[in-house]
Amino acid sequence: MSTNQNPERSTGFLLRDNSRFMKAAFNERVSGLTQAQWGALAHLSRHQGLNQVGLADLLEVQPITVARLIDKLVALGVVERRPDPNDRRAQQLFLTGKAQPLLDQMWEAGDEILDHAYAGFTEEERMQCVEMLVRMRNNLARLAQGGTRSRLAQLQKAS
């Protein structure tokens, strides 16, 4: 049996399981916001002034979904909308001062979870793991940009 056919050794299954376990651990440690709201805050912390369409792209959801998500974050006082000086139809998104304690809680929980995930790893192994995951993501992003179906058809023809 190849490792791809064994869920205990399959890269895809392992990545999914690790992601699921990390989300569950994160949700146990931080509360008050949904996973989507945490994701929006994380992206906005790195991309202040982003518009809703840009945030939707980063979150991989529809713009209407982001509109409702941002409405809730605005109501909580952690995000504010400002007119986009370059497009009067668009609004830019900015975090307010109330967002920082939430972000601190989020980053602290993330660090704690990763420390558990990397238990028993040397610092070198930890860095190698991150580097390999970055390379994997880049490879998969290129595959996705080329169109998964067309790339798979090319691979099948080559074999």
Summarised one tens digit per residue, pLDDT across range 22-32 is: 999 998 888 78
CATH no. for residue 12? 1.10.10.10
Could you tell me if 57 and 34 are in contact, meaning their C-beta atoms sit under 8 angstroms apart? no
83: Cβ contacts below 8 Å, ≥ 6 apart: 91, 92
- Average pLDDT on 63-70 reads 92
- Average pLDDT on 51-78 reads 93
If asked whether residues 54 and 132 sit together in one domain, one would say: no
Band (40; pLDDT cuts 50, 70, 90):
very high
Give per-residue pLDDT as tens, 81-101. Answer: 999 998 888 899 999 999 999
If asked whether residues 68 and 135 sit together in one domain, one would say: no
Model pTM?
A: 0.73
In the predicted structure, residue 158 carries a pLDDT above the cut 60? no
If asked whether residues 71 and 13 sit together in one domain, one would say: yes
Name the residue range of residue 159's domain: 122-159
If asked whether residues 112 and 128 sit together in one domain, one would say: no
Q: Closest Cα to residue 27, out of 110, 92, 85? A: 110
